[in-house]
Structure 1
Amino acid sequence: MSKKLAVSTAVAALVASIPTHAFAQAAAPQSTTPTPAPSAETQKRDKVVDEAAEALRETQNAIEAIDQNKPDDAIAALTRATGKLEIVLARNPGLGFAMVGATVSTHDVVATEADVEKLRGQAAAALAQGQLQVARRLISDLASETVVSVSKLPLATYPDALKKAAALLHDGKAQAAKVALQATLSTLVVEDVIIPLPLVRAQAALEQARNLLEKKKRSEAESTQMRAYLATATAQLRLGRALGYATEAEMTDLLAMVADIERRTAGSQSATGLLDPAGSKFDAARRSSQPRK
């Protein structure tokens, strides 16, 4: 990896029970306005998360009890876990999965479009020479994203698996029960949501420019500030394209939109509605940046 590409990585530990509205609150800008109380639907969703996360903890408690040669405690833990999941299913009969935790990590490579393209070229040359590991090391840090990995418990199979493990414990087959529980834990589904930081930064820069774009009789200083925001958006979109986020066509379309805005607001010109298509274009680019299923 080139020494001039500084990489910043921050990883948060697994959170056993995160209310889903907490993500939205964490991402929202700070405000002095009091936060409204969670809606009834949000409270219901959070209750499902709490019950499912508790069932997962009880499963782990059962395994610990088996290791301590306490089969009765293990059965009690499984009984509590099964009860929690039966409550979830009774309240939400059509629910297939329940969130039980999340990991949030950010990997942000500090680089220009030229830096990234140079490394991509070196990696391509290494691949052409059959040097797969050299290519892998060259591009291993080429990402600028926040990844939210959500762990989900499969409600269609998990409760029955707990009951089978409890039956094994009743039959005195503690180790078989432990193996079954460990296999059950492995059925948790992890879904990653990728948040490409260049797209986030580009969209934020455009939103900062919005009022200036539409302002009539802009001052020279305001025009300079507006152009700086548009330049930031362009640079971030070029970086995102070099890093391979979204499709080539989507990134080219976004860059063309910014270039059109620059042309139509040159000098002291103003125009309204220029950013109206931006939201849907960025949404499409973010969808294309998600892992393939």
Structure 2
Amino acid sequence: MGTMAALVFALLAVNILLGSYTVTIPDFFAMLGGKTIPGASFIVMENKLPQALLGMLAGASFGVAGAVFQTMLRNPLASPDIIGISYGASATAVAAVVLFGVRGAGVSVAAIIGALLVALVITALARRRGGTGLILIGIGAAAFMQAVVTFLMSRADVSNAQELMVWLTGSLNSANWERVGLLTIALVVLAPFVAVGSRELRGLSLGGDTAAGLGFNVPRARLLLTILGVLLAALPTAAAGPIAFVAFLSGPIAKRLNGGAASLPLSGLVGAAIVLAAHFVAVNAIPGTSLPVGVVTGALGAPFLLWLLIYTNRANQGG
């Protein structure tokens, strides 16, 4: 845990101090203290610092959300970006922008509503089909939501469409202090529920019958964890877009680092590290061009998804 926290701090510093525009540590602390350095103050304080902080917060939130669903459903495929929850948040956020001209906090509210609705629908449809059924229904819901987004984008004006296309890929390029502040407040409010949910999750990871035998209120625990996971997926989606595969990757990596046991805090740190590392690559890989961070995380996550599908299929066939 300590090593991963140190890695996140190092990646945060790298994103702020290095890259196409470098700044010394003394100058950075001078700017934090209020000193204005021509050119550097705007680049660092209004671009690099809010982007790095938003990436860290969004990655941590996605990482915990993924671990919640994967552990609760006992399936590594059950992350919000695979089962349609992130796409639900994206679809309602795009609808709010395109159809009603909503901006700011209203987009976050729309994203949360969409994510909750999708989670409610797929949970109701998969009630008697178990975790695998929920995943399959969720994949179908994700495909439907993608179609909705495509339709809405075809009705958007050019300026909105360009902005939304970058956002839908997952990007920190438009990060600002308002988004950082809103996401920080939201995560601080949710932190006590994450602590409670972590205990409930340890019980559910043993299976519903075993958890009930140990005294856990399984329906209440699942309801709490579902709402918590939805909120943790929807809030960063509203702030930075549906950054691909961060929720999907963080839980399994954290589990391996933790000796096979699920850990929400470690999953959050892994998610933050993935986004910060991917953002640095996205901004600096091609000189003069700043790619959306979702391009890099998508390139990382797609091979892992294919490997996991192949490995799961072989395991089910006994080989």
Q: Common fold, TM-score beyond 0.5?
A: no
TM-score calculated relative to the size of structure 2: 0.22
Larger radius of gyration: 1
Relative contact order (C-alpha < 8 Å, sep 6+): which is higher?
A: 2
Q: Which has the higher strand share?
A: 1
Q: Which has the higher helix share?
A: 2
TM-score calculated relative to the size of structure 1: 0.23
